[in-house]
Amino acid sequence: MGVGRFGVQGRSRGRRRTGAMAAVSALGLTAALGGCGLTGGSDDVTLRLVAADYGDSESNGSQKYWDKLVTAYEAEHPGVTVDVTVYSWNDVDAKVKKMVDAGKAPDMAQIGAYADYAAQGLLYRADDLLSIPVQADFVAQFADAGRVRDVQYGIPFASSTRLLFYNKTLFEKAGISAPTTWKELAADAEALKAQGVKTPYALPLGAEEAQAETMQWLLSGGGGYTDSDLGTYSIDSSENVATLDWLKDNLVGKDLTGPVAPGELNRADAFAAFAAGDVGMLNGHPSLMQMAKKKGVKFGMVPMPGIDGPSKVSMGVADWMMAFKENGHADEVGDFLDFVYDKQNVLDFSREYDLLPVTNSASTVMTAAKQDADLKPFLERLPLSELYPVGRTSWAEVSADIKKRIGSTVTSGGSPSAILGGLQSTATRAESAE
């Protein structure tokens, strides 16, 4: 994998301590991301990577992906061994934290958040590791989201965005079409309810991923978690209050969100219900396509409706790669990561797990390729996506509080204004502690 992929090319590594040059074969047989002979006859190096599992079964677990990639890399880089350990998403962040706390940080970690480690001074800067072409290839908003105080430490690894999924069969029976505005969405939900649909619109504000569903709705209402101009939290903005008031009054209050209270409904359960044919509409990411197809559900996908038309901004999510300084090995780590972000490797990973690539080169290929036609609507929304404020160390605390409290905003006795005000206080307090 990767032999001769880029033809003949050489690159200066002068910004690294050793100033090593990537070895180049005149025949272009070993030029895939350069780096052959980087160890220069020094002692063999073993790099440790801890990664998250994106597979949904033993047959497509991420360990298999990494094993194949590492085998290809090691074949071209004698003297460098890469040891990859994959954990489930339920465990991987805690596993890495335990290693770091014990003074045994891995060389690299591919997990959900990086800001705390960057704030502690534990991570290499991205430009200490990656070649300039690789850095320049990242989709801009993901590279920007990897910054803490204007320095990039988080290296985007995989991404996703959201679209509104709707059950075509249920819509046809109700004689309705996909909504483009909130008013149309509410009317469609009413029509679906009249046809006996169990959950016209699934609103998962449960603890699993409430911050995602909430952000998608806030963005569609012209708000969000932060003020893009001021760079501060704006959780209790008038736009956000109005959005949650609308949800409470027009969907939840009219019994259009199903038998499970939104604050108790998790994303996984909502997805499963859609795949079972019990949900008319919900916000979903690419993995829901495969779930629905396997169950024979005919579905359509459209941009999230907004107040006056399709939302101009979609919620984006990225997972992160980072490199710890504890063990050194900046040159070897950087060279391996250049290989990881080779266009074909990014394509292979994205296609295996129905994820969106974080590089422009892979996005361009997938947008045009017939085999990726299902993902095209997501790829088209990707440049319009906004991410969580992951570069703030305060975000972990704020996100946890949102998961805990946001579901109560849409209950019959809930007060969006009061609860968002409390969340804003949490954010302000957490910000001041940074």
Tokens 């001021």 sit on residue: 230
Residue 6 is assigned to a structural domain of this protein: no
Together in a domain, 140 and 99 = yes
pLDDT in tens, 391-418: 898 998 999 999 999 999 999 999 999 9
Residue 105 is assigned to a structural domain of this protein: yes
Residue 20 is assigned to a structural domain of this protein: no
Proportion of the chain above pLDDT 90, given as a percent: 79
Does the pLDDT of residue 157 top 90, yes or no?
A: yes
pLDDT in tens, 228-276: 777 799 999 999 999 999 999 999 999 999 999 999 999 999 999 999 9
Q: What is the CATH number of the domain that holds 227?
A: 3.40.190.10
Together in a domain, 414 and 286 = yes
Together in a domain, 257 and 299 = yes
Together in a domain, 237 and 295 = yes
The domain total for the chain is: 2
Together in a domain, 412 and 266 = yes
Together in a domain, 99 and 185 = no
Does the pLDDT of residue 40 top 70, yes or no?
A: no
Query: Considering just the CA atoms, what is the radius of gyration of the chain in Å?
Result: 23
pLDDT in tens, 82-136: 999 999 988 999 999 999 999 999 999 999 899 999 999 999 999 999 999 999 9
pLDDT in tens, 178-220: 999 999 999 999 999 999 999 999 999 998 889 999 999 999 9
Out of 351, 372, 387, pick the residue that ends a domain: 387
Residue-range definition of the domain harbouring residue 65: 45-160+317-387
pLDDT in tens, 2-22: 322 222 223 333 333 333 333
Report pLDDT for 208: 87
Residue 82 is assigned to a structural domain of this protein: yes
Together in a domain, 84 and 211 = no
Together in a domain, 175 and 323 = no
Look at residues 18, 294, 264, 298 and name the one whose alpha carbon lies nearest to residue 170.
298
Together in a domain, 233 and 322 = no
Residue 35 is assigned to a structural domain of this protein: no
Together in a domain, 77 and 219 = no
* Average per-residue pLDDT for the chain: 88
Together in a domain, 185 and 285 = yes
> Is residue 24 very low, low, confident or very high in pLDDT (cuts 50, 70, 90)?
very low
- Rounded mean pLDDT of 328-349? 96
Residue 3 is assigned to a structural domain of this protein: no
Residue 34 is assigned to a structural domain of this protein: no
Q: Say how far apart CA 189 and CA 164 lie, in whole Å.
A: 13
Together in a domain, 150 and 283 = no
> Is residue 338 very low, low, confident or very high in pLDDT (cuts 50, 70, 90)?
very high
Report pLDDT for 33: 36
